[in-house]
């Protein structure tokens, strides 16, 4: 592979044209699609989408596990001139209703089980069962040819939680997604012979890139909706998987399993994002999978991916997040707006062509996060100011220090405290609530809810009510009831005091 990846941008659906015609591209439960078949299926699905979803630029939402349609949609939507809005299959009706309304989706495709959970008013657009889609696609026939979409045209809106409020939609262009695929395929050294096990949700940028980077390299993807970590071991053995992308909680589970020696040896590449690796976990991964290169990474949905650590440096620098990926410029900006010196702490700022187009229909929050690059930037232009504190060591490697905002990162998911708090109050059982993330060896952070009960409420009813309203990863692991909630001098609930109190109580 050349030292510098090709920066030329093509329409995203051209990824279906990258591989050898008869080589495997997508390994489904009942059959395998070659790259030629992948392109044909993208074309037939795109033709149906164009006839059903309306004008160019209309948003089409999917709320699905890793089915064939979910895997094809990132390419089929843009071939039809549409914008894909993938919805995390773990979300429940309230979160889905918000995304549908906020995005102005023209159509929602889901399976019957999920559609049956929606209530009147949740979806202002037509909803279609996935099985009915394929029946209509087959009856209609024909296919659309590869598109000629402009590099800066909108390709997808990925919804991510903010530190406050409801999830916000990150607008990603053809160039953002294409160059992200090129960059990752390049530094991971993916080749046509690779088989990538897609275990992460396709609604996440990290998960979706499992498809895009693999197809750019001409390899094949094995989608997996696993029930237990043991399912991952079985899939690696069955399909000769060479690559797994995961988050720390899953890696912790996988290293605790007994792996047949030949199966563990088949893995050539392990990637991590969504949370930091610990030195002990690095050692466990290196012991369990000695033939695999380990790639720690750091990313922002607003700029896709920012850094990776060269596998050759992992043993010596197990906690580093590495250096900038291809096409990214990563700056460390001190509190005075200048370039931080080696070993000094500053804010991580990402600039370059991977920077997204902002938040969908949210100029205020876009202006807060997307601002001009500092004067010392080489690439200039618009930058993502992450809010994350990092330092760059004398060797040029970056190290994560902490998050400026109150986001909770649990099981690889970013959770808005406000969304958990609103759900708690909405049950009618809680008068006031504060959600906090505290360190947890399995989850990264566990969600603790500090709450004052509503008059006459049964405290034991809260967790069952939240389980019905929220995806599992957002349900608090611990509830701490208070008769009186502390307030700060400005009259707001005192999160800092509560966090300090809980942290003190947790100390042995």
Q: Is beta strand 382-392 parallel, antiparallel or unpaired with respect to 345-351?
A: antiparallel
Range of weakest confidence among 97-111, 394-408, 484-498: 484-498
Provide mean pLDDT across the span 224-233: 95
CA 492 to chain centre: 32
Give the per-residue pLDDT at 490.
Answer: 57
pLDDT band at 163 (very low <50, low <70, confident <90, very high): very low
Give the per-residue pLDDT at 276.
Answer: 78
Q: Kindly tell me if the per-residue pLDDT of 273 is higher than 80.
A: yes
Position with higher pLDDT, 485 vs 323: 323
Provide mean pLDDT across the span 458-486: 95
Provide mean pLDDT across the span 123-133: 96
> Considering the chain, what percentage of its residues have pLDDT values greater than 70?
97
Task: Give me the residue spans of the domains in the chain.
Answer: 408-506
* Torsion, CA 299, CA 305, CA 311, CA 315, rounded to 10: -20
pLDDT tens, position by position, 82-103: 999 999 998 899 999 999 999 9
Provide mean pLDDT across the span 482-489: 82
Q: Quick one: which of 419, 456, 455 has its CA closest to 434?
A: 419
pLDDT band at 1 (very low <50, low <70, confident <90, very high): low
Give the per-residue pLDDT at 491.
Answer: 59
Give the per-residue pLDDT at 2.
Answer: 59
Q: Which helix (H) or strand (E) holds 149?
A: none
Give the per-residue pLDDT at 414.
Answer: 81
Give the per-residue pLDDT at 161.
Answer: 67
What Rg value do the Cα atoms of the chain yield, rounded?
23
Rounded-to-integer distance, Cα 66 and Cα 196, Å:
14
User: Mean pLDDT, the chain, as a whole number?
Assistant: 94
> Considering the chain, what percentage of its residues have pLDDT values greater than 90?
82
Give the per-residue pLDDT at 496.
Answer: 84
Rounded-to-integer distance, Cα 492 and Cα 194, Å:
53
Q: For residue 457, how many other CB atoms are within 10 A of its CB?
A: 16
Taking a C-beta distance cutoff of 8 angstroms, is the pair 152, 173 a contact? Answer: yes
Taking a C-beta distance cutoff of 8 angstroms, is the pair 196, 220 a contact? Answer: yes
Give the number of residues written for the chain.
Answer: 508
CATH of 408-506, one of 3.30.56.10, 3.40.50.300, 3.20.20.70, 3.30.300.30: 3.30.300.30
Rounded-to-integer distance, Cα 489 and Cα 501, Å:
17
Q: Quick one: which of 330, 216, 209, 327 has its CA closest to 271?
A: 209
Q: Kindly tell me if the per-residue pLDDT of 9 is higher than 90.
A: yes
């Amino acid at each position: 592979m050349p030292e510098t990846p090709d920066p030329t941008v093509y329409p995203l659906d051209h990824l279906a044209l990258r591989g050898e015609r008869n080589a495997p591209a997508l390994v489904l439960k009942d059959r395998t699609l070659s790259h030629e078949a992948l392109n044909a299926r993208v074309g037939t699905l795109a033709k149906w989408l164009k006839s059903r979803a309306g004008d160019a630029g209309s948003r089409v939402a999917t709320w699905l596990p890793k089915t064939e349609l979910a895997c094809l949609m990132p390419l089929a939507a843009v071939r039809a001139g549409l914008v894909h809005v993938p919805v995390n299959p773990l979300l429940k009706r309230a979160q889905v209703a918000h995304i549908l309304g906020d995005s102005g989706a023209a159509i929602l495709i889901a399976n019957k089980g999920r559609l049956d959970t929606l209530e009147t008013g949740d979806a202002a657009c037509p909803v279609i069962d996935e099985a009915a889609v394929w029946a209509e696609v087959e009856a209609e026939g024909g296919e659309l040819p590869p598109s000629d979409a402009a590099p800066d045209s909108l390709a997808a809106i990925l919804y991510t939680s903010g530190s406050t409020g409801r999830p916000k939609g990150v607008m990603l262009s053809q160039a953002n997604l294409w160059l992200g695929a090129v960059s990752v395929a390049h530094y991971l050294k993916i080749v046509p012979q690779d088989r990538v096990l897609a275990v992460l949700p396709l609604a996440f940028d990290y998960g979706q890139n499992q498809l895009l980077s693999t197809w750019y390299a001409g390899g094949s993807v094995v989608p997996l909706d696993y029930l237990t970590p043991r399912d991952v071991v079985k899939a690696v053995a069955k399909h000769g998987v060479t690559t797994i992308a995961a988050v720390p909680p899953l890696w912790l589970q996988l290293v605790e399993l007994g792996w047949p020696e030949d199966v563990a040896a088949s893995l050539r590449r392990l990637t991590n994002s969504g949370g930091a690796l610990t030195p002990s976990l690095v050692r466990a991964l290196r012991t369990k999978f000695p033939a695999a290169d380990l790639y720690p990474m750091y990313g922002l949905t607003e700029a896709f991916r920012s850094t990776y650590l060269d596998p050759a440096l992992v043993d010596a620098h197990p906690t580093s997040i590495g250096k900038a990926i291809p096409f990214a410029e990563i700056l460390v900006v001190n509190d005075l707006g200048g370039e931080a010196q080696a070993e000094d702490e500053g804010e991580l700022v990402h600039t370059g062509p991977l920077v997204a187009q902002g938040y969908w229909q949210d100029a205020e929050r876009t202006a807060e996060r997307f601002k001009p690059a500092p004067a010392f930037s080489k690439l200039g232009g618009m930058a993502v100011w992450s809010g994350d504190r990092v330092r760059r060591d004398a060797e040029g490697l970056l190290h994560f220090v902490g998050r400026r905002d109150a986001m909770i990162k649990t099981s690889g998911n970013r959770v808005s405290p406000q969304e958990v708090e609103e759900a708690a109050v909405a049950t009618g059982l809680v008068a006031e609530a504060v959600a906090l993330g505290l360190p947890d060896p399995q989850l990264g952070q566990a969600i603790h809810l500090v709450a004052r009960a509503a008059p006459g409420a049964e405290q034991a009813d809260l967790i069952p009510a939240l389980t019905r309203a929220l995806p599992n990863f957002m349900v608090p692991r611990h509830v701490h009831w208070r008769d009186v909630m502390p307030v700060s001098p400005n009259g707001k609930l005192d999160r800092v005091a509560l966090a300090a109190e809980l942290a003190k109580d947790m100390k042995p």
